[in-house]
């Protein structure tokens, strides 16, 4: 008889893309780091009800009545039972999260990772299929995911990622701070990814050129990280933002926060993640400056901010 734990638990952090979002979908490199200040936790236990139930900030009730925005999770759960040859049973699932949803912090990959891990542990299975479950969920959530979110969140390591290449994990030892500002507006990664895909069809030359330039900037940012040159890194981040704006994936609220950060003395600033809302990041070499930028972002309407040291992981 298979062994089942009384409770399966899984957790996952968010992620921040330092450079290369969108271009990474089309084969160019991107650099991303785990964002450990935000976290999703998933708990799986046997249900007293006849049907599976889910308890989350967005929906609480029977899993088969969950809203469409949870399709990626309900489908992943079905896929999990089929893949592991398990008979479906009514489970009680609880999800609690401090990762803002649809803000470019990888919340969809994080919830899929945390829940897969909780299911795997509940049934005492090996985690060899974890990657498949998250990929299944991400495909439903995003349409055409590059895989960078899933990788950073699963490994919890900083990584330079390019499709069809072996990812390079690296340590971050930069003498500086990242300030993260949330516009409070939901972005739409799938819409933004689709828009770039459309632009590649309607204006292939210009769009390819922009993506290629972003790819080169990512290489430059990676080099400045290796050389621990934070001023250089900041300049490339700002260039990256200009190109993302040109691609049409930024938003007035993001542009405004980026401008505010730069006017307050940031070494560089850009949107992060899918865009069209969501979050931006700024770079500072001193904690005092980071705090000043944080205050300026909040004064300019940022819903929430975080300061993250860039050394020591
Ligand atoms: O918005 P997020 O956190 O899901 O980040 C998306 C990053 C993109 O490059 C826009 C898409 C992808 O799959 O890499």
Q: Mind listing the pLDDT tens digit for each residue in 128-164?
A: 999 999 999 999 988 889 999 999 999 999 999 999 9
Is the pLDDT reported for residue 312 higher than 70? no
Beta carbon of 146 within 6 Å of any ligand 1 atom: yes
Q: How far is the CA of 16 from the centre of ligand 1 (A)?
A: 10
- 20-34, 45-59, 88-102, 195-209: the lowest-pLDDT one: 45-59
Which of 19, 107, 273, 276 has the most ligand 1 atoms within 8 A of CB, as the residue to mutate?
273
pLDDT at 311: 85
Q: How far is the CA of 149 from the centre of ligand 1 (A)?
A: 7
Nearest CA owner, ligand 1 atom 13: 145
Beta carbon of 22 within 6 Å of any ligand 1 atom: yes
Stretch 32-37: mean pLDDT, rounded?
95
What's the angle, vertex CA 236, arms to CA 149 and CA 171, rounded to 5? 50
Nearest CA owner, ligand 1 atom 14: 146
* Mean pLDDT rounded to a whole number for the chain: 94
pLDDT at 313: 58
- 6-15, 112-121, 184-193: the lowest-pLDDT one: 184-193
Q: How far is the CA of 274 from the centre of ligand 1 (A)?
A: 5
* Virtual torsion, Cα 184, 105, 277, 143, nearest 10 deg: -140
Beta carbon of 102 within 6 Å of any ligand 1 atom: no
pLDDT band at residue 188 under the 50/70/90 scheme? confident
Beta carbon of 214 within 6 Å of any ligand 1 atom: no
Work out the percent of the chain whose per-residue pLDDT is above 90: 88
Q: Confirm if 107 and 67 have CB atoms less than 8 A apart.
A: no
pLDDT at 260: 98
The number of residues in the chain equals 313
Beta carbon of 193 within 6 Å of any ligand 1 atom: yes
Q: How does DSSP assign the chain, residue by residue?
A: -----S-EEEEEEEEEEEE-TTGGGGT--EEEEEEEEEEEEEEEEE-SSSS-EEE-SS-EEEGGG--GGGHHHHHHHHHHHHHTT-----EEEEEEE-SPTTSSS-HHHHHHHHHHHHHHHHTT--GGGHHHHHHHHHHHHHSS--SHHHHHHHHTS-EEE-TTS--EE---EEEEEEEEEE-S----HHHHHHHHHHHHHHSHHHHHHHHHHHHHHHHHHHHHHHTT-HHHHHHHHHHHHHHHHHHT---HHHHHHHHHHHHTT-SEEEEESS-SSSEEEEEESSHHHHHHHHHHHHHTT-SEEEEEEEE--
pLDDT band at residue 1 under the 50/70/90 scheme? very low
Kindly report, residue by residue over 235-264, the tens digit of the pLDDT. Answer: 999 999 999 999 999 999 999 999 999 999
Stretch 73-82: mean pLDDT, rounded?
96
pLDDT at 102: 86
pLDDT at 159: 97
């Amino acid at each position: 008889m298979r062994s089942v734990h009384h409770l399966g638990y899984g957790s996952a952090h968010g992620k921040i893309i330092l450079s290369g979002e969108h271009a990474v979908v089309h084969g160019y490199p991107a650099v991303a780091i785990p964002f450990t200040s935000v976290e999703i936790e998933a708990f799986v236990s046997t249900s007293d009800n006849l049907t599976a139930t889910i308890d989350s900030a967005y929906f609480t009730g029977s899993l088969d009545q969950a809203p469409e925005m949870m399709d990626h999770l309900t489908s992943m759960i079905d896929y999990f039972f089929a893949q592991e040859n398990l008979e479906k049973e009514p489970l009680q699932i609880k999800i609690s999260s401090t990762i803002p949803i649809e803000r470019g912090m990888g919340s969809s990959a994080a919830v899929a990772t945390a829940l897969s891990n909780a299911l795997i542990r509940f049934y005492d299975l090996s985690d060899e299929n974890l990657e498949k479950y998250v990929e299944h969920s991400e495909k439903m959530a995003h349409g055409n995911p590059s895989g960078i979110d899933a990788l950073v969140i699963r490994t919890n390591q900083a990584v330079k990622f390019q499709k069809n290449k072996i990812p390079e994990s690296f340590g971050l030892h930069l003498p500086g701070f990242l300030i993260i500002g949330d516009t409070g507006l939901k972005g739409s990664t799938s819409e933004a990814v689709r828009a770039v895909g459309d632009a590649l069809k309607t204006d292939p030359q210009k769009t390819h050129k922009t993506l290629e330039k972003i790819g080169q900037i990512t290489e430059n940012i990676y080099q400045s990280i290796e050389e621990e040159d934070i001023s250089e890194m900041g300049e490339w981040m700002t260039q990256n933002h200009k190109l993302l704006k040109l691609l049409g994936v930024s938003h007035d609220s993001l542009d405004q926060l980026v401008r505010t950060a730069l006017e307050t003395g940031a070494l560089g600033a850009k949107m992060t993640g899918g865009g069209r809302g969501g979050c931006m990041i700024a770079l500072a070499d001193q904690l005092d400056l980071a705090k000043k930028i944080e205050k300026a972002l909040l004064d300019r309407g940022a819903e929430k901010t975080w300061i993250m040291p860039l050394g020591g992981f």
